[in-house]
Structure 1
Amino acid sequence: MIQEFKDFIAKGNVMDMAVGIIIGAAFTAIVTSLVGDLINPIIALFTGGIDFSGWFYTLDGSEHASLAAAQEAGAAVFAIGNFIMAVINFLIIAFVVFILVKMVNRIKEAAEKPDDVAPEVDTGPSELDVLLEIRDALKKG
């Protein structure tokens, strides 16, 4: 069993996965900052600073000044606003990731394309042409 574990760890896929997870965590921080620090303020400017996170409903019908106060009091809370904000943030993040992936794919395609297509060089008759000439010469002679 230990040998199987060593074989598993020694495979390149594990290292690739580890690198992917580390890069993904760093990428998540970048995208979260982009959305929270740059995009959300622009959206708040256009929507008049609407913050849905304050929308909540207590299931027992009790009144509380804020969502935090209701949660601190131990009330069963249906936090509609937090859900709406999570969906909005997801859509924004998904769009930003889509744009980033699209840009990376364009860069990758540009790197894979050869800059100059080599012109065709006439190297003379092909093997087939030579063989056909030999056949025709043998038929005549």
Structure 2
Amino acid sequence: MKKFIEEFKTFALRGNVMDMAIGVLIGGAFSGIITSLTDNFIQPIIDVIMGRAAYTLEDVALFGSNFISAVINFIITALILFCLLKAMNKLLSVGRKEEAPAAPTTKTCPYCKSEISIDATRCPHCTSELS
């Protein structure tokens, strides 16, 4: 059972899965903006053109406030998801070990200042013996 939980944890915290989940949530929040735009701006314009309804200035103000509310909801959702993802990435990076820098493979000749192999006992450029 413990191995199953570890495998699930590895799967769920993988970058692609998290990106997809964030995308789905942002898409859901953005659909609220599109729905509000359609319900509060496009549909009333169609209703007026077709002669089905007449709107007052109060109605237009209400439509505008509903749309602004949907935009604010989207921004808040996106901000919360950003903060959660940032915190989760920070938590995941705590357990990782940083890789040690690679050992050097070259050195500088003290006489001619040319770059030579670290194993060299004689400089191939100036033929000086190296200690």
Q: Which is richer in helix?
A: 1
TM norm structure 2? 0.36
Q: Kindly indicate whether structure 1 or structure 2 has the higher relative contact order, using CA contacts under 8 Å at least 6 residues apart.
A: 1
TM norm structure 1? 0.33
